[in-house]
């Protein structure tokens, strides 16, 4: 399965350092709350997150103390209560055993929404974001549902401002740089219609994968081939399959014909953090920074 993409600093604050929690009185006064199709009569105190992205967001907006369990892939932040719950094979019985008053998921696999709804457990579906604004919407909705709307708004503002600064600092170019974004050694990529593609587009880059999914049949994630990529000859190659699949500048250079590519010859193959590159949480700033740092090093 190809997952949809995707420590933030702004001034002296970090969105991974939650703001002071809303007081109980203030939180109670804000309910009932409706956001993202979910209505809660009171502030949730036992949240289960089956989405690594949502887990990062919940802790970043100060809702960490309300989270009682997260899935086995939620590896950030370090103090998240990791369990053996799975977001890929969600089990309603295992989830309900945690007595949650809110469950956050990124995919409705195993018909889990209907199963939990039958058990009268509220479910918020945080599907893969398609743009930065879409991600920000989810952050705000999670803030509203958990009683942390101000903290969520602050997080959106800080992350948005930092990304704007990073992009604004790039040098102007007469001809845009081209790039290939690798999700796996099988040569799956992400086009400009995806979350990560839209982010890289803000850096003034042209995606060589776009023609391979011009009609959208691959949902923005086409599988390319060696000949296509060698002919496309991208200026930059971004690897989002470093930890999972052992890819590096060296393994890329060893592929048939790839040593002729501009990106390989000029050492413009960039290794990314797999987790950050596949999530649309607060650490998206780290992804943008890695991209803009690489772009800035390419001679204008």
Whole-number pLDDT of residue 300: 81
Rounded Cα distance between 194 and 220, Å, is: 6
- The answer to whether 207 and 192 are in contact (CB under 8 A) is yes
- The answer to whether 47 and 104 are in contact (CB under 8 A) is yes
Whole-number pLDDT of residue 273: 96
Task: Establish whether the linkage from the previous residue to 32 is cis, with ω within 30° of 0.
Answer: yes
Q: How many residues does the chain have?
A: 300
Q: Which is nearest to 50 in space by CA: 82, 87, 75, 76?
A: 87
Cα 259 to Cα 13, 178, 230, 251: the distances in Å are 43, 17, 9, 10
Q: Which domains does the chain have, with CATH numbers?
A: 24-163 (3.40.50.1980), 172-297 (3.40.50.1980)
Rounded Cα distance between 134 and 67, Å, is: 23
Rounded Cα distance between 204 and 201, Å, is: 5
Whole-number pLDDT of residue 191: 97
Whole-number pLDDT of residue 25: 43
Q: Which is nearest to 117 in space by CA: 100, 134, 98?
A: 100
Whole-number pLDDT of residue 29: 56
Rounded Cα distance between 191 and 195, Å, is: 9
Counting beta carbons within 10 angstroms of the beta carbon of residue 30, is it exposed (0 to 12), middle (13 to 18) or buried (19 or more)? middle
Whole-number pLDDT of residue 23: 47
Q: What is the pTM of this model?
A: 0.87
Tokens read off for 118: 């039958």
Rounded Cα distance between 36 and 226, Å, is: 42
Mean pLDDT, consecutive 10-residue stretches, the chain (300 aa), reads: 36 37 52 96 98 98 98 96 96 97 96 97 96 96 98 98 96 95 97 95 97 96 97 98 97 97 98 95 97 94
Rounded Cα distance between 98 and 6, Å, is: 28
Where in the chain does DSSP place strands (E)? Answer: 33-35, 38-40, 47-49, 67-70, 102-105, 123-125, 178-182, 206-207, 236-239, 269-271
């Amino acid at each position: 399965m190809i997952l949809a993409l995707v420590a933030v600093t702004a001034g002296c604050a970090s969105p991974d350092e939650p703001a002071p929690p809303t007081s109980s009185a203030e939180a109670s006064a804000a309910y009932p709350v409706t956001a993202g199709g979910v209505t809660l009569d009171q502030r949730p105190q036992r949240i289960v997150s089956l989405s690594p992205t949502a887990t990062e967001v919940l802790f970043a907006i100060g809702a960490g103390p309300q989270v009682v369990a997260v899935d086995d892939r939620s590896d950030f932040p370090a103090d998240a209560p990791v369990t053996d719950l799975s977001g890929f094979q969600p089990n309603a019985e295992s989830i309900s055993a945690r007595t949650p008053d809110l469950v956050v998921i990124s995919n409705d696999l195993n018909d889990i929404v209907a199963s939990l709804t039958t058990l009268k457990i509220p479910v918020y579906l945080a599907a893969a974001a398609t743009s930065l604004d879409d991600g920000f919407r989810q952050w705000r909705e999670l803030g509203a549902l958990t009683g942390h709307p101000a903290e969520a708004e602050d997080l959106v503002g800080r992350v948005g401002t930092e990304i704007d600064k990073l992009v604004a600092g790039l040098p102007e170019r007469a001809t845009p740089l081209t790039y290939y974004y690798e999700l796996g050694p099988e040569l799956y990529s992400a086009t400009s219609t995806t979350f990560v593609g839209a982010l890289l587009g803000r850096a003034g880059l042209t995606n060589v994968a776009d023609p391979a999914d011009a009609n959208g049949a691959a949902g923005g994630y086409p599988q390319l081939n060696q000949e296509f990529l060698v002919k496309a000859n991208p200026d930059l190659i971004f690897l989002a399959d470093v930890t999972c699949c052992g890819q590096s500048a060296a393994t890329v250079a060893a592929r048939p014909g790839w040593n002729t590519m501009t990106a390989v010859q000029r050492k413009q193959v960039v290794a990314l953090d797999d987790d950050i590159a596949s999530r649309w949480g607060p650490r998206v700033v780290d992804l943008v920074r890695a991209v803009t740092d690489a772009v800035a090093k390419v001679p204008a």
